[in-house]
Structure 1
C-alpha cells in the first residue's frame, strides 16, 4: 500500500497504516523531487492544479516500486475529483492496483475509516483501530506544535542547521513510538531540546504570515521551500494551516466570516475564506507582510485575491502573491522573495525614522 506525500506527515500516515493493516506492507513513496513532478506532469491534464501532478507522480513512483494498493483522501474543491481521474489515468497506463478513497468529500469520519480498513484487514478490531487512530492524531499534533516553534525561531539559530538536524532526529524517534506515554515523553524531550538551541533573535524581528491553499502551504517542495528561504533572511514565519488545524482546530465558516469582517459576506470555498480571515488577523497584529501561495488556477484562492488586496491597501501591509505550477522557476521565486525582503526592510527603516522625527 502507498499514498501521496505531503510535508513530513508521511511519518504519521505510515505509522497508522502499519499498525492497523498488519497484513499489508506499507510502501512510502520516495521523497518528492523534480522527477516526481516531471512524471506527474507528463500524464496529467495541462491545466489541472499542480497538487494533482505531485500526487500522480507519487503514485507512479510507488507503483514502479511494487505498490498495488493506492490511497487518496478527497477534499473540498477540485481535489475531491482527483481520485477518479488519477485512477483512470493509471489504469490507462496499464497498471493493475486497488484504489481506496478514505474521505470521499465527507468530513473526517473515524467509523468510515474503520470500515475501509476492516475490508483490507478482516482481523482488525474497532478497539485497536480507535487506539492507533487517536495515537496517530496525537503524533500529528506533536509534529505541528514543534513545527510552530521551529518556524518562529529557525531563522535566528546561532549554529546553522541546528534546528534541521534536531528535527530529523525527532521524526526518526517519532516513527518508533509505542503508545501515548512514550509519545508524551518524546514530545516533552524534544520540546525542551528545541528550546535549548541557541538563537539570536531580535526583540522585534520582521514577521511574515503565509496563507493560501493547503497543499502548497504544507508541502515545501511545491512552493520552492518558501519558509526556509524566509528564515535564511532572518524573518519570523507564521502559518496557520496544518493537518491538526484542518482536522480539529479549524474554525466554523461562520466564525471565519466574522474574522474576515467587511471583506467577506459569503464563504468562497476550500481555503479561500481562511486566507482572507487570517490575512486580516495578521494585518491587525502588525505583521510586516503576508505571502499568499496557491496552485495556478486554484479557483477559491483566485477568488480571495481581491479581498486580500483590499486588506493590503487598508492596512498598508504588503502582500506577495505566488502561483505555482510545473513550470515555476525556482530562480524567479527566490528573486521575488529577495525583492520582498528588501522592501520590508526599507519600510521598517522608513517607519523608524518617522517615529524619531
Structure 2
C-alpha cells in the first residue's frame, strides 16, 4: 500500500455505524472514514460491479466500499452473516482489486467470529498494543450503545405514527444519535439513555387505545437498513400504524432464542430449522398472529433461500389466523412507486378488516 496512514471503513446498516465507530476509535490506531449515507448512487455503484444473481445486501455493501475507497479509505471491514452472504467477502475483495483499488481487507463479522475472544484476536493483529482488558471494556460499551439505540428506536417505531407535531420524533432522534457520539464510558451511556427516554416519552402523541398493529419480519439486513426496504416503517407510520419488529443488534447478540426454541415457538408450522433468519420469521409471525396483530410484512432480498423457504409456513399461519401477510422481495430493480402502491392496498385491506370486525360485534 502506498499510504502510511491506515484509514478504515465499513458498510452501513441502520444507525449502528455509531457503535462501530466507537469501537474502532477506542481500540485501533486508525483514522475512521464512515461511508456517505446510502443513496441510489450507492446501489447503482454496487449493482454495476456485482454479479447479477447476488442478493441486494451484497450490492449495497459493495457500493459502500467503493464510495469509501473513493474518499480515501484503504482498510475495509467485511460485514458477513449467517447465510451465503458470509462467504461474499472474498468476491467483494476481488471485485474491488479488479477495479484497481489499493487496500487491505478483513472479515470479522461472520456469526462464528462474533464473540470477544475471536474479535480480540483480529483486533490484536491490527494493534499490537491493545490489551484484552481494554478491548473487552470497549466491546461491552459498544454493545451497550447498540442496545440503547435499539431501545429508543423501539419506542419510536411504536409511537411515531401518532405524534401531534410532525417531525418531533425525527428531530429528537437526530439529537440523540449525535449525543451518543460523545460517549466516553458507561455512566455517559446511562445518563444519555435516561435523559432521552424521558424526552421521547414527553413528546405529545394522539394514540388510540387499539391502533392498527403491523409486525415486520424477514432477513436481517433488509429489516435493519431502512434504505434497503424503501423506508417501509416510515411509510407505515404515516398511516397511523404501530410497528413492531424483533430483529435488532441487541436481539441478534443478546436476546436471540436458540433454534430449538424457535422451532418450538413455531408449533405445527415448522419441524426443522430452515437457515439464517427464516426460522425466526416463522416463529415471530406465529407470535404476532397469536397476539392479535392486524398484519405482518415479510421482507427479504430477492432470491434469499431461507426466507423463500419460510414463505409457505407464513402463508399457512396467515390462513389459520386470518391475518394478512404482505411479501416484499428487494433488488436493485425494485420500484419505489410499486412498494408504496402495495402498502396503500395493504393498509386499505387492514382498515376494511377492522370495519368488518366492528360490524360483527354490532350484529
User: Normalised by the size of structure 2, how large is the TM-score?
Assistant: 0.97
Q: What pairs up with 1:105-116 in 2 under 5 angstroms?
A: 105-116=111-122
Counterpart in the other structure of 2:24 = 17
Cα pair 2:278 2:310 within 8 Å, conserved = yes
Alpha-carbon distance in 1 for matches of 2:161, 2:45 = 34
Q: CA deviation at 1:104?
A: 4.0
Per-residue deviation at 1:250?
0.3
Cα deviations by residue, 1:226-279 (Å, 9 ceiling, x for unpaired): 000000000000000001100111000000001000000000000000000000
Match runs of 1:226-241 below 5 Å = 226-241=232-247
2:166 is aligned, of 150, 160, 163, to 160
The 3-state SS of whatever aligns with 2:328 is: strand
Give the conservation status (yes or no) of the 8 Å contact 1:211–1:279. Answer: yes
SS in 2 for 1:55: helix
Task: Give the match for residue 136 of structure 1.
Answer: 142
For residues 46-85 of structure 1, the aligned pairs below 5 Å read 46-85=52-91
Q: Deviations over 1:168-218 (max 9, x none)?
A: 000000010110011101000000000000000000000000000000000
CA distance in 1, matches of 2:221, 2:161: 23
Deviation at residue 128 of structure 1 after TM alignment = 1.2
1:323 aligns with 2:329: yes
Which SS does the other structure have where 2:242 is aligned?
strand
1:250 aligns with 2:256: yes
Within the alignment, does 1:180 sit opposite 2:186 as a pair? yes
SS at match of 1:238: strand
Question: Does 1:89 find its partner at 2:99?
Answer: no
How far has the Cα of 1:126 moved from its partner? 1.3
Which residue matches 1:102?
108
State the Cα distance separating 1:74 from its structure 2 match. 2.1
- Asked whether the equivalents of residues 103 and 109 of structure 1 are also in contact (C-alpha less than 8 Å), the reply is no
- SS of the residue 1:223 aligns to: coil
Report the counterpart of residue 220 of structure 1 in structure 2. 226
The residue number in structure 2 matching 1:205 is 211
Residue 73 of structure 1 and its aligned partner are, at CA, apart by: 3.1
Deviations 1:304-330 (A, max 9, x none): 000000000000000000000000000
- Structure 1 residue 107: Cα displacement: 4.9
Report Cα offsets for 1:21-61 as digits up to 9, x if no partner.
Answer: 1x210100000000000000000000110000000000000
Moved over 2 A (4+): none
- Look up the match of 1:125: 131
Paired residue for 1:348, among 346, 354, 360? 354
The answer for the alignment partner of 1:287 in structure 2 is 293
Q: Distance in 2 between matches of 1:158 and 1:105?
A: 42
The residue number in structure 1 matching 2:340 is 334
Secondary structure at the aligned position of 2:9 is classed as coil
Q: Report how far residue 119 of structure 1 moved.
A: 1.2
CA contact (8 A) 2:11 2:79 kept: no
Secondary structure in 2 matching 1:197 = coil
Cα RMSD (Å) of the superposition? 0.7
What SS does the aligned partner of 2:112 have? coil
CA–CA separation in structure 1 for the residues paired with 2:244 and 2:269: 21
The whole-number CA distance in structure 1 between the counterparts of 2:342 and 2:53 is 24
Contact kept? 2:214, 2:296, Cα under 8 Å: yes
SS in 1 for 2:34: coil
TM-score, length-normalised on structure 1? Answer: 0.99
- CA distance in structure 1 between the aligned counterparts of 2:343 and 2:354, rounded to whole angstroms: 16
What is the rounded CA distance, in whole Å, between the counterparts of 2:224 and 2:210 in structure 1?
26
Give 1:105 deviation, angstroms: 4.3
- Give CA deviations for 1:333-355 in whole Å, capped at 9, x if unaligned: 00000000000001000100110
Residue aligned with 2:352, SS? helix
Give the secondary structure class of the aligned counterpart of 1:222: coil
Q: Which residue number corresponds to residue 5 of structure 2?
A: none
